[in-house]
Amino acid sequence: MDALNSSGGPNGHDWGKGAAGDGSAEDEHASHAEMSDWEHSHGEGRHGHQASLGDALDFVNTLEYDKGEAYEHLADVPTTVQWLQRHELLHKEMVSDLIDRYEREDPQPAIQRVRKVRGALRELLDATVEQRRPESSALREVNRALRAPYLIELVPAKDGVSLDHRHEGDPLAGAMARLSEAVARELTQGDPRRMRICANDECRWVFRDYSPAGRRKWCDMATCGNRAKAARHRERQKAKEKDEEPVQLDA
């Protein structure tokens, strides 16, 4: 199943557009704020194929968990190239040539490189949320990705000029560099205190908390939030039934 072509992943996530919060009026307001941020960062306000934070978090979440079981959304090179193009990180006209190129060669080094960058970014995000030092191997991998050669340059635009990029080398490496840069900028120049990992240990979806109060726990109230509420209700019912059990008196 290519969940990235559907409206949601196996865990019911709405890919790329954030989560709805915890169901309160505050969270309803937060979901509208997140949608506006998504619309801006995933297209309307972005030029030159630069990756937004939303793109980067979508990328990290392509290794998705549902009830603790892993779902790999970047199963092969064609799927990966198409995912990057849908997120405007590769030019559309590159897709066929890249797929042909990597299929003629051994595709495993390319897909493994992409997954290593994804795993390293995940470790940096986990470490930020858990307020600990990241593994040195993850830092090395992200730094290696950031060194990919692509050049930023000014190009004409309707309202003046905008930033674009020119590929110098492997386009996949350039895409990994821009995704890594988006995470690096958020963790060093943004508000890393707003980064979250879903409180459902069987999900662990990574997201940025845009709610006004900054107290979101769940990636999505409709999935993990409701599951947590249902589990708490079952536990309360069990405790109530246990308290109501008749006391057995010794004969």
Report how far residue 63's alpha carbon sits from residue 228's, in angstroms, rounded to the nearest whole number: 22
The number of helix segments (H) and strand segments (E) in the chain equals 8, 6
Determine the length of the chain.
251
Q: Note whether residue 48 is domain-resident.
A: yes
Residue 27 has pLDDT above 50, yes or no: no
* pLDDT 10s digits, 206-241: 999 999 999 898 888 677 866 555 555 455 655 555
Q: What pLDDT is attached to residue 202?
A: 86
Give me the number of domains the chain comprises. Answer: 1
Please give the Cα distance from 98 to 116 (Å, whole number): 20
pLDDT at 46 > cutoff 60: no
Residue 190, domain member (yes or no)? yes
Model confidence pLDDT, tens digit, residues 71-98: 999 999 999 999 999 999 998 998 999 9
Q: What is the pLDDT of residues 170-187, one digit of tens each?
A: 899 999 999 999 999 999
Q: For residue range 109-122, list pLDDT tens digits in order.
A: 999 999 999 999 99
Phi first, then psi: what are they for 6, rounded to 5°?
Answer: -105, 180
What average pLDDT does this structure show over 44-70? 81
Query: β-pairing, 63-66 with 69-72?
Result: antiparallel
Any domain includes 51: yes
Q: What confidence tier does 9 reach under pLDDT thresholds 50, 70, 90?
A: low
Averaged pLDDT, 44-69:
81
Q: Is 101 a domain residue?
A: yes
φ and ψ at residue 63, rounded to 5 degrees: -100, 100
Do residues 174 and 150 make contact, with C-beta atoms less than 8 angstroms apart? yes
CATH number at residue 171: 1.10.3300.10
Q: Does residue 100 lie in a domain region?
A: yes
Report the SS3 class of residue 249: coil
pLDDT at 167 (0 to 100): 64
The reply to whether 248 falls in a domain is no
Contact at 8 Å (CB) between 183 and 125?
Answer: yes
Share of residues in the chain with pLDDT > 70 (%): 67
Residue 59's pLDDT is 98
- Within-domain flag for 250: no
Identify whether 180 is part of a domain.
yes
pLDDT tier, 66 (very low <50, low <70, confident <90, very high otherwise): confident
> How far is residue 239's CA from residue 228's CA, in Å, rounded to a whole number?
17
> Between 13 and 107, where is the model more confident?
107
Range of the domain at 225: 3-243
pLDDT 10s digits, 125-158 = 999 999 999 999 999 999 999 998 767 788 898 8
Mean pLDDT over residues 27-35, rounded?
39
Residue 62 has pLDDT above 90, yes or no: yes
Burial class (CB in 10 A: 0-12, 13-18, 19+), 49: buried
| Contact (CB, 8 A) for 24 and 210 | no
The answer to whether the predicted template modeling score (pTM) of the entire model surpasses 0.85 is no
Question: From residue 112, how far is each of 58, 109, 115, 171, 172 by CA, in Å?
Answer: 18, 5, 5, 15, 12
pLDDT of 18 higher than 50? no
* Residue of higher predicted confidence among 66 and 48: 66
